[in-house]
Amino acid sequence: MALTDTFIKNAKPNDTGAGVKHTDGGGMYLLIKSAGKYWRMGYRFAGKQKTLALGVYPAVSLAKARQRREAARELLAEGIDPSAAKSQEKQARASAAVNTFEAVAREWLMKTATQRMTTTQSKITTWLEKDVIPYIGKMPIADVGPRDVLAALRKMEARGALDSVQRVKQICGQVFRYAVATGSAEWDVTQDLKGALAKATPGNFAAITEPIKACELMRSIFDYSGHHCTVAALKLSPLVFVRPGELRTAEWAEIDLGVAEWRIPGIKMKMKADHIVPLCTQAVEILLDLQAITGHGKFVFPSIRTGERPMSENTINAALRGMGYAADVHSAHGFRAMARTIMDEVLGERVDLIEHQLAHAVKDPNGRAYNRTAHLPARRQMMQRWGDYLDKLRNGADVIPLRGAA
């Protein structure tokens, strides 16, 4: 006979201490002991008699126990052992409780620490601890959705940190991809946030122009451990300070390491005029090392995926972001401003030579544009002085501040 709420409430255990069973149908019964009243369900699976615990009365009411019984019967009808399903669900809940976003993020930080500099590690940790963990850190990472991440990032957006918010979104994406790889999450939810966040208004290319900060940048570049092409491109960028598009599409046919020159055809240049880049000894050394790896192909910096195309236009900027330099601090294009400013204000190089080397339009006293070979010997000497200066910066020489700088 089916049980009632009144009967269950008033039912008592027997005096012997042995449990008393009161059936409700469908294999479910109420087991009454001196310690309490327990819902149970008896069933057979794979030829064996089994018992499933459905809860304890009164925390689990009669109605709730019946719902659990029906759910178990549905599993049985599908050939699933409800006891095994319950155990798996319990394990999943325990795993979720342990694998919070914060726990996974800290594990990712620890596992990948050797891939970045200490300063970068500290910056990423601070971003997570300040802008993400307070809002979604305690949530099981498997339960975090795009809207949860977006809500946290919106707070950064509201205070105007538009460049940093994009970087933090990327960091969150890396945490989620690590969680997917380790089985703690099913997908990278940040993929659904494309276009949801405001972007910084484009302006002048961000650049480090203070010698002290340039010193830190050069050390960061030489400490960077990434793909060999990316490392070489990073090291070469400040030495040649060409436009990023000119660097990434460089071809071995354009470079003569014997005479230490890189001749860029006008079709690749912004001003559509041929350009000569004298290569200092430091640049030649970098290219010689790289030639052993990519010299058999067309491009100096081939795509990682296929050697038939040049390196991606985002590679150097992505590496800078990975080193901890946000888009509003320094960019791939910023190496040009760094060279122009420091060469002029610290090294006292001739401005017209700097402008020539930047491939800017420079005219003679008669208003005619100089050709590509103008002042080439002087430019060659200037480029070597620049390469030597960058080495001194990186190796710890005394840093002379910009004129007028505090």
Greatest Cα-to-Cα distance within the chain, rounded to the nearest angstrom: 118
- Amino acid present at 325: Y
Structure confidence at residue 47 (pLDDT): 87
* Cβ proximity of 193 and 149 under 8 Å: yes
Distance CA 165, CA 211 (A): 28
Q: Per-domain residue ranges for the chain?
A: 5-94, 101-193, 211-395
What is the band of 224 on the pLDDT scale with cuts at 50, 70, 90?
Answer: very high
Helix axes 228-240, 211-223, angle to 10 degrees: 160
- Per-residue pLDDT of 295-347, as tens digits, reads 999 999 998 877 678 998 889 999 999 899 988 899 999 999 999 999 999 99
Q: What is the pLDDT of residue 364?
A: 57
Quote the percentage of the chain above a pLDDT of 70.
90
User: In whole numbers, what is the pLDDT of the chain averaged over residues?
Assistant: 88
The answer to whether 282 and 289 are in contact (CB under 8 A) is no
Per-residue CA distances from 244 to 104, 200, 253, 275 (Å)? 36, 20, 18, 15
pLDDT of residue 298: 93
Q: What percent of the chain has pLDDT over 90?
A: 61
* pLDDT at res. 391: 95
Instruction: Please give the positions annotated as active site.
Output: 243, 270, 333, 336, 360, 370
The pLDDT tens digits of the residues spanning 226-281 come to: 899 999 999 999 999 999 999 999 999 999 999 999 999 988 888 788 999 999 99
pLDDT at 37 (0 to 100) = 92
Q: How far is CA 76 from CA 79, 83, 86, 183, in A?
A: 5, 10, 13, 28
Asked if the domains at 101-193 and 211-395 fall in one CATH topology, the answer is no
> What pTM was estimated for this model as a whole?
0.51
Residue 403 in this model has a pLDDT that exceeds 70: no
* Cβ-contact 276, 261 below 8 angstroms: yes
In terms of CATH architecture, what is 101-193?
Answer: Orthogonal Bundle (1.10)
Cα–Cα nearest to 259, from 237, 226, 283, 239: 283
pLDDT band at 353 (very low <50, low <70, confident <90, very high): very high
* Domain boundaries 211-395, corresponding CATH code: 1.10.443.10
d(CA 220, CA 207): 15
Q: What is the pLDDT of residue 406?
A: 43
Contact by Cβ (8 Å): 75, 81? yes
Q: What is the mean pLDDT of residues 34-56?
A: 91
Sheet bearing 48-57, strands edge to edge = 20-25, 28-33, 36-45, 48-57
Cis omega before residue 58 (within 30°)? yes
Q: Averaged over 209-225, what is the pLDDT? A: 93
Residue 115 banded pLDDT, cuts 50, 70, 90 = confident
Return the SS3 of 188.
coil
Class of 5-94 per CATH?
alpha beta
List, for residues 52-102, the tens digit of each pLDDT value: 999 999 999 999 999 999 999 999 998 989 888 888 777 666 655 678 999
